[in-house]
Structure 1
Amino acid sequence: MAVDPDRMGDGECSKDYIVVYQAPTAPLVNGIPTYTVQVLNTCLGQGCGGAGGGIAAVHLRCGWFSSARLVNPKVFRRLGFDDCLVNDGRPIPAGGAVSFQYANTYPYRLSVSSVSCTPPKFP
């Protein structure tokens, strides 16, 4: 995965600034594997979340996502096939992250499908 070294540039909001990391964690007591997911807003420019703005309505491709461990639906939930919503649609601020854990026999391939830009709020 390539990360834009000039992400402090003009800060145009884009789904390319949302990065999804996933790693295995300790299994449940019944042996079902668990995974920790972090969804990060790597954009640090002015148009990416400074002063109350952010990248919002982050949707991930997620297949038929389900989990043997309860995932807070305000953090991550499946809306339909291959469409999961992050952070209840609220903005992820510049440099911010949302994380959660799930349990399933195999990891899901999670990738960003769409985002919406929330402009910064100025007094």
Structure 2
Amino acid sequence: MAKFYFTIIILLIICPFTISCWIIYPGGCNPGCIRIYQWPSGFAGLHIPKFTVQIVNEAWNNKGVYDVQISCPAFASTTLINPAVFRRIDLANCLLYNGRIINPGEVITFEYSNILPYPFIVLDLKCM
């Protein structure tokens, strides 16, 4: 029994986000199962920092998610982002992948340029 608890603790330390998505939300359909990673990736014109964003669907218990909305009230970029990948739908929200289905494990990537990195937060999504 102690070995079982030790294994669970190790898993929670190694991959807390994915495990919490599976254990806390066993249905696998919640904004917490969409992970957003970003890092600096060079410079755009006029030495403005460029950031790469990867958004991963970690909701393994369903066929896919769609209509993923991300909070972006003050988001701006000096470089053009493909609107089929990431676009503003109103003053405070952006739509990911044009509302299309994002399969489990699928990664959506885009780059933007701004002085500081933007804190993206998944607000809402729908599951298949």
Q: What TM-score do the two structures reach when normalised by structure 2?
A: 0.78
**Partner in structure 1 of residue 105 of structure 2:** 95
**Partner in structure 2 of residue 56 of structure 1:** 66
Question: Which string of whole-angstrom CA distances, capped at 9 and with x for unpartnered residues, describes residues 83-104 of structure 1?
Answer: 0110000111011110100001
**Counterpart residue identity of residue 19, structure 2:** P
**Partner in structure 1 of residue 89 of structure 2:** 79
Superposition pairs of residues 30-69 of structure 1, within 5 angstroms: 30-45=46-61, 47=62, 49=63, 54-69=64-79
Shift of 1:75: 0.1
Does the 8 Å contact 2:65/2:103 carry over to 1?
Answer: yes
Identical columns (%): 33
Choose between structure 1 and 2: higher helix proportion: 2
**Partner in structure 1 of residue 19 of structure 2:** 5
Does the 8 Å contact 1:57/1:90 carry over to 2?
Answer: yes
**Partner in structure 2 of residue 19 of structure 1:** 35
In 1, the alpha carbon distance for the partners of 2:56 and 2:27 equals 15
Does the 8 Å contact 1:15/1:112 carry over to 2?
Answer: yes
**Partner in structure 2 of residue 114 of structure 1:** 124
Which protein is bigger by CA-based radius of gyration?
Answer: 2
Shift of 1:109: 1.1
Query: Relative contact order (C-alpha < 8 Å, sep 6+): which is higher?
Result: 1
In 2, the alpha carbon distance for the partners of 1:44 and 1:38 equals 17
Q: What is the root-mean-square deviation of aligned Cα atoms in Å?
A: 2.1
Does the 8 Å contact 1:65/1:78 carry over to 2?
Answer: no
* Runs of 5+ consecutive residues of structure 2 not aligned to the other structure: 1-14
Structure 1 runs, 4 residues or longer, greater than 3 Å off: 6-12
Q: What TM-score do the two structures reach when normalised by structure 1?
A: 0.81
